[in-house]
Amino acid sequence: LLQLYAPLNFLGFVYREIKHSLADMEKMFTLMGQNAEVTDIKNAQLLATTSAAIRFDQVDFSYEANRKILHAVSFDIPAGKTVAVVGSSGAGKSTLSRLLYRFYDVSQGSISINGVDLRQLNQVSLRAHIGIVPQDTVLFNDSIYYNIAYGQPGASRDEVIQAAKSAHIYDFILSLPEGFDTLVGERGLKLSGGEKQRVAIARTILKNPPILIFDEATSALDSRTEKAIQAELKEISANRTTLIVAHRLSTVADADEILVMEQGVIIERGRHRDLLDLGAHYAHMWQLQQGDEENK
């Protein structure tokens, strides 16, 4: 009986793992409000690079027929550089990150990495190269250790600890009643917005991807946490090709290029200083936010 038990136990483990990863996928797609709508071409290429140059070339996109969301959007993110997108709600900012992750394929134009069109690439290998720090991180009903280690299945305990330290969440974890074994998620300890983002940052540090997408939370964190998260973001985005969807202009001031979007069109672009000098849309947004800061 014992001989039978071991393989059954193993099967149970495999089953749980599969169920878990399906649940994760579902969760992720629900989170992003999407379905997996793209299919790989036959003999799709495997992406394998540590240095990724991204190009959006005349990209048009519609979720539904008759309603175009992006109009001829073109920009480059050279390998290791950071591009930030700002603009009013509904302008199409997050859509850019969904297209880069290939939740959808573009309607016209192309997105490429190191000159290869995303549609030529194997989706799984593409996504393995991208770390996402989303607006609202979904935590699994599991230990905080699992929630970080999930970034890189097979990571050693030391690596997980190191990632937690780099994401500045290690001391917080040690202060919890059961440390890394503390259960979080809906049925466990509820974490604050900032703590959840740090878990996502730790996951990403562990995954160590060449491409990073940071979708800044719309809901404001307290200003100390916000500054700390921005500093951590700066650290992990160094040397990674980074797309930031920003809601606060203080996050974008250091970007190599800032894109200002309105209704699916890039209406201004440049560095922070240049856009302030231009004295148009961005400069106006900046003035408004400075006013908000002072009123805080």
Q: How far is the CB of 40 from ligand ATP (least distance, A)?
A: 21
The answer to whether 92 contacts ligand ATP (rule: CB under 6 A) is: yes
- Tell me how far apart the alpha carbons of residues 67 and 80 are, in angstroms, rounded to a whole number: 34
| For ligand ATP, the closer CB: 64 or 294 | 64
User: Candidates 92-100, 109-117, 157-165, 226-234 — which segment interacts with ligand ATP by CB under 6 A?
Assistant: 92-100
Walk across the sheet containing 265-270 and list its strands.
130-133, 211-215, 241-245, 82-87, 257-262, 265-270
- Tell me how far apart the alpha carbons of residues 159 and 129 are, in angstroms, rounded to a whole number: 19
Tokens of 129: 């190269």
The answer to whether 197 contacts ligand ATP (rule: CB under 6 A) is: no
Contact 269, 257 (CB under 8 A): yes
The answer to whether 69 contacts ligand ATP (rule: CB under 6 A) is: yes
Query: Which of 64, 158, 171, 186: binder of ligand ATP (CB under 6 A)?
Result: 64
DSSP string of 147-180? HHHTTSTT--HHHHHHHHHHTT-HHHHHHSTTGG
Size of the residue set binding ligand ATP (CB under 6 A): 13
Tracing tokens 């000098």 back to the chain, one arrives at: 277
Query: Which of 23, 25, 37, 90: binder of ligand ATP (CB under 6 A)?
Result: 90
Query: Which of 47, 52, 77, 95: binder of ligand ATP (CB under 6 A)?
Result: 95
Which of 54, 49, 47 minimizes the C-alpha distance to 113? Answer: 54
The answer to whether 104 contacts ligand ATP (rule: CB under 6 A) is: no
| For ligand ATP, the closer CB: 95 or 123 | 95
Give the relative orientation of helices 223-237 and 193-207 as an angle to the nearest 10 degrees.
10
Contact 258, 269 (CB under 8 A): yes
User: Candidates 2-10, 84-92, 125-133, 280-288 — which segment interacts with ligand ATP by CB under 6 A?
Assistant: 84-92
Please report, as a single letter, which amino acid is at residue 225.
Answer: T
| For ligand ATP, the closer CB: 152 or 216 | 216
The answer to whether 94 contacts ligand ATP (rule: CB under 6 A) is: yes
Tokens of 96: 């850019």
The answer to whether 63 contacts ligand ATP (rule: CB under 6 A) is: yes
The answer to whether 89 contacts ligand ATP (rule: CB under 6 A) is: yes
The answer to whether 91 contacts ligand ATP (rule: CB under 6 A) is: yes
Q: How far is the CB of 256 from ligand ATP (least distance, A)?
A: 20
The answer to whether 209 contacts ligand ATP (rule: CB under 6 A) is: no
Residues 6+ apart with CB under 8 A from 52: 79, 113, 114, 129, 210, 211, 241
Q: How far is the CB of 133 from ligand ATP (least distance, A)?
A: 15
User: Candidates 23-31, 83-91, 107-115, 140-148 — which segment interacts with ligand ATP by CB under 6 A?
Assistant: 83-91
Binding residues (CB under 6 A) for ligand ATP: these are 33-34, 63-64, 69, 87, 89-95
